[in-house]
Structure 1
């Protein structure tokens, strides 16, 4: 287990102080530190390939944490981190991160790529499940403002049948979609202001 820097510990403590007291009662300080180490103290990841959890639907987060804990969804970097974690703590973690604010989206915008991505998302009817705002709901994740690299990686996993333990409907949704189109979609979704 890697040690958090002093700055991260201070940021984590700040996040803990503003978190919902009821949720915090169920979450161990060690668990919060583990989550913050990759996903950020405020749930906004700064690490490549690591998703932001802030403002994701609570039910979606709960389900994913249970799937990871039970070994149904394989996330190698999280292997063993949720072993023995009680449902109450998982629910509290999901509540905590669902209430966090999403960081501002990237401001750099290539208008042509953004327009292509928007057209693809509309044509693929992503808003039917993820809502027209792409904020997600219930068991469906928020896409708006998610890390571009994570969105692309995730869609490529679905396309290549490597998204074990995740919604198989997405595999059908991206079947036959070119890598360039997936890049444009990721670019667009990462820059949508929720």
Structure 2
């Protein structure tokens, strides 16, 4: 790509978006270890100094990627919830299935959005509800929160279960990934959710 083409490509202020896209592509191709400012600039077709004008080092780039990653993550969860049965327990399990599928499809992005510059950077005031993904988690957990209980307790239990399982699954701790989720340990582990809010109707 010539210098003229680069200038034309980013003339309207889309360089930051192009760098974020390049960063996501690097994550998809090589995981978190592949993400560097220099590689990101090269992938976007700009000078290696260009990211410095838009991000506060690599951590700033990760924060920008996390913001875009959360939008994709939220869409995965929403699609999963909408595609299955619509009773409360089925929606809860569908959300967990969508969570794992996102990890399988976008493991590098998952590592960024839940890294030291991921969710915490989006919720600097400690308000997790700023993230659409968390709002959806809260929505599907709501029918199972016992009266008078803090909903965060149940939300954290469900989140811990599926996030921990996803990380173990991606790390190969559950054996070789099967052809489909249904043939692996997912359903056995997710049966733990049957104990969640057993007093609520299915």
TM-score by length of 2: 0.28
Q: As a proportion of its length, which structure holds more helix?
A: 2
Question: Which protein, 1 or 2, shows the higher relative CO under an 8 Å CA cutoff with sep ≥ 6?
Answer: 1
Larger Rg over CA atoms: 2
TM-score by length of 1: 0.29
